[in-house]
């Protein structure tokens, strides 16, 4: 388990800033087709903090990861008021309850995300619990807030619904006073993107979501999955997220099998982290294509296992 304060940006008055904590992937069994150990992507959580209070964005998967993140948050010496969850995937919130209890914080999300969280609970035994141990019991305790807005020491925090990205009903957190977007999985940074849930419908909705993030005119974007060695430059991460989808569309036309797609992506993105997610994406995209008429959710889930 490792972590870092990767970066800090403050507003003009110095009262508002953000820091990012990155959890390394939890231990996992199995190998990828190229012989590498299977490994999930690094998971980022963001602390937006004022002089006394703070808000956390996204909570990791396992109790060990939550302990590491919680110790880091505690070290910041702020009163954690809220934990905002960007979307329903378990790797962004299964430990939200643990952290909420530890700090006496409220868990907040949009109604759409809350609906997706219930779906994640229903399917966890078929997916996450087969891959990783140490995921705590996770009840959905998140609440929606009026107009999807809340505040931190008077600064606006806005939940912006961006629709389908790597799953349905996803959101980002816009912090106008920091020119910051905490993007969940709408934007990636140096990590293979999870494309499995775009196997039906394609990447058009995700491209629209990227446009919505860009329209907020952020200078900084924190991606939910990222390489800690990279910065949060908004222009670069927006462009690279679009390019990854364009490349995927091209490779879906030129590559015949999931393995061909996997190998071709690695050739184009040799430094990207999270090759297990690439393999899952490839299997889901080609699995749905090769098995028309089958239950899509089942095909996508099987691609993880």
Helix 96-103, helix 63-75: angle, nearest 10: 30
Nearer to Zn ion by Cβ, of 185 and 255: the residue is 185
CB of 165 to Zn ion, least distance (A): 10
- Enter the tokens of residue 257: 């099998």
Residue among 91, 169, 240, 255 that touches Zn ion (CB under 5 A) = 91
Region from 58-66, 85-93, 140-148, 265-273 binding Zn ion, contact rule CB under 5 A: 85-93
CB of 12 to Zn ion, least distance (A): 32
For position 58 contacting Zn ion by CB under 5 A, the verdict is no
CB of 171 to Zn ion, least distance (A): 13
The CA distance from 209 to 186, in Å, is: 7
CB of 225 to Zn ion, least distance (A): 6
By the 8 A CB rule, do 93 and 59 touch? Answer: yes
Angle at 212 between CA 157 and CA 9, to 5 degrees: 45
Nearer to Zn ion by Cβ, of 185 and 232: the residue is 185
CB of 88 to Zn ion, least distance (A): 10
CB of 152 to Zn ion, least distance (A): 24
Nearer to Zn ion by Cβ, of 16 and 191: the residue is 191
Nearer to Zn ion by Cβ, of 193 and 258: the residue is 193
- Enter the tokens of residue 283: 């299997």
Nearer to Zn ion by Cβ, of 25 and 70: the residue is 25
Distances (CA, A) of 180 to 22, 132, 173, 186, 233: 18, 32, 8, 14, 10
The CA distance from 260 to 254, in Å, is: 9
CB of 205 to Zn ion, least distance (A): 17
CA 183, 193, 207, 88 dihedral sign is negative
Distances (CA, A) of 216 to 2, 143, 150, 160, 198: 32, 24, 17, 9, 24
Distances (CA, A) of 133 to 65, 108, 121, 137: 12, 26, 15, 12
Tally of CB atoms within 10 A around 96: 28
Within 137-196, which residues bind Zn ion (CB under 5 A)?
A: 185
Q: Give the interface with Zn ion as residue ranges (CB under 5 A).
A: 89, 91, 185
């Amino acid at each position: 388990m490792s972590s870092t304060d990767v970066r800090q940006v403050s507003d003009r008055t110095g009262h508002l800033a953000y820091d990012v904590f990155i959890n390394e992937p939890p231990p996992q069994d199995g190998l990828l087709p190229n012989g590498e150990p299977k490994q999930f992507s690094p998971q980022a959580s963001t602390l937006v903090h004022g002089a006394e209070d703070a808000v956390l964005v996204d909570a990791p998967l396992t109790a060990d990861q939550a302990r590491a993140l919680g110790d880091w948050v505690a070290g910041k010496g702020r009163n954690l008021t809220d934990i905002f969850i960007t979307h329903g995937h378990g790797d962004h919130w299964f430990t939200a309850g643990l952290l909420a209890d530890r700090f006496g914080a409220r868990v907040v999300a949009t109604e759409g995300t809350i609906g997706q969280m219930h779906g994640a609970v229903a399917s966890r035994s078929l997916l996450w619990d087969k891959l990783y141990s140490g995921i705590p019991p996770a009840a959905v305790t998140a609440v929606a807030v009026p107009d999807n807005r809340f505040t931190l020491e008077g600064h606006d925090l806005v939940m912006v619904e961006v629709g389908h990205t790597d799953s349905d009903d996803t959101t980002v957190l816009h912090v106008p006073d920091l020119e910051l977007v905490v993007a969940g999985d709408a934007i990636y940074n140096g990590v293979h993107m999870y494309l499995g849930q775009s196997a039906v419908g394609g990447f058009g909705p995700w491209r629209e979501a990227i446009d919505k993030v860009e329209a907020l005119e952020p200078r900084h974007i924190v991606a939910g999955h990222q390489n800690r060695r990279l910065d949060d430059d908004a222009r670069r991460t927006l462009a690279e997220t679009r390019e990854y989808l364009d490349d995927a569309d091209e490779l879906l036309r030129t590559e015949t099998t999931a393995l061909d797609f996997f190998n071709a992506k690695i050739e184009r993105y040799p430094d990207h982290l999270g090759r297990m997610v690439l393999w899952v994406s490839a299997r889901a995209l080609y699995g749905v294509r090769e098995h028309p008429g089958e239950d899509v959710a089942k095909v996508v889930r099987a691609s993880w296992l």
